[in-house]
Chain A
Amino acid sequence: MTARPDPLIHPITRLSICGLLAAGADWVEFAALRDAAGISDSVLSKQSRVLEDAGYVEVRKGAVGRRPRTWFRLTAAGRQAVQGHLAWLAQMEQAVSAGARDVRQARPRPGGRVRPPRERATGLAAVVQRPQHG
């Protein structure tokens, strides 16, 4: 598996949808996915359509009685893209935490007191958008 970013999956909502579908379930129902991702019905509908058009997600619509039921699952291409993107994110997270550790260790400690860092290195999006050198 190659760790590489996928611009289609990178937006946080789509990452949530794809990451949840890649969690080990075969099919996940609309309500379960919506509640787990913490998004609204309309957002899930819109983003799942984008993923379906890209061939990353397969959608199956059915009905139980009068109630419509929609099920989602990742396609093989979608699974590969998600795994690559998650691996890339994991690498970035490691790099960010290693960088933050280095900064903490290099910072002087006046009077022996450890000063808390001004900003925690959790803003991964800022790191991702930073222009790459080299």
Chain B
Amino acid sequence: MRDAASDPPALAPLQRLRVQRARLADRMRPPWWYLAGAAIVWAVVFASPFSSRYLPRGVPAWPIFVAAAAAACLMQWGLTRATGIRLPFRNLRYPSPGRPVGIAILVVFLAADETEFLLIRRDPIVAALVAAALAVVAEMPLLQAAVRASRRELRGGGGAA
């Protein structure tokens, strides 16, 4: 167990707080199962456009999105338990370092979804599969960038001095 006495005593309070925030930020590292689970969730989401072609007519695609959202919430809960840090809910209007990444994730999702629908309708299925795979590959670094942005925010003090 580290004790407060182990910190250099000459550190000024703010400098000491910066060191402690860096320690807290270092805990915000997703475990392997978080990234693996996120890849599976994105794969399921980007596979959903194929349901319009291969599922019988009248079967809706929304249960796939609900299941993916439930899995994402479960993973977020697991990440909170694993790191001991629960981040506040951020919408895109909230100014945070992760906002550009959040916008990029949304743009990639919408672009890939539309591209897949277009390709499936015109019948180059292989191209649609490639688009889906590329979308999953693109989303993963963005997710890691979002976690990095959270770490940066914790290290920077989240707007506090």
Residues of chain A having any CB pair with chain B under 8 Å: 12-13, 15-16, 19-20, 22-33, 35-40, 43, 64, 71, 82-83, 86-87, 89-90, 93, 96, 120, 122-125
Contact = CB atoms under 8 A, between A and B. Distances in A.
18 contacts: A16-B20, A19-B17, A19-B21, A24-B153, A24-B157, A24-B159, A25-B87, A27-B80, A29-B85, A30-B84, A32-B84, A35-B23, A36-B21, A36-B27, A40-B3, A96-B12, A122-B12, A123-B10
B59 interface: no
Contacts of B158: 22-25
Given A12-B13, A13-B4, A28-B85, A20 B161 contact: no
B161 A28 contact: no
Determine the main DSSP class of A at the interface with B: helix
B154 A25 contact: yes
Contact of A29 (B3, B84, B87): B84
Nearest to B86: A27
A9 B157 CA distance: 16
Contacts of A83: 160-161
B81 A38 contact: no
A43 B3 CA distance: 10
Interface residues of B, number: 39
A131 to B, nearest CB: 20
B122 interface: no
A44 B10 CA distance: 22
Contacts of B23: 35-36, 38
Interface string B65-101: 0000000000000001101111111000000000000
A25 B88 CA distance: 6
Contacts of A43: 4
A35 B21 contact: no
A15 B17 contact: yes
A36 B157 contact: no
A126 to B, nearest CB: 11
Contact of A124 (B12, B20, B85): B12
B83 A32 contact: yes
Nearest to A34: B1
Given A12-B13, A122-B10, A38 B4 contact: yes
B36 interface: no
Contact of B10 (A29, A93, A120): A120
Given A40-B1, A89-B14, A82 B160 contact: yes
Nearest to A39: B4
A20 B13 contact: no
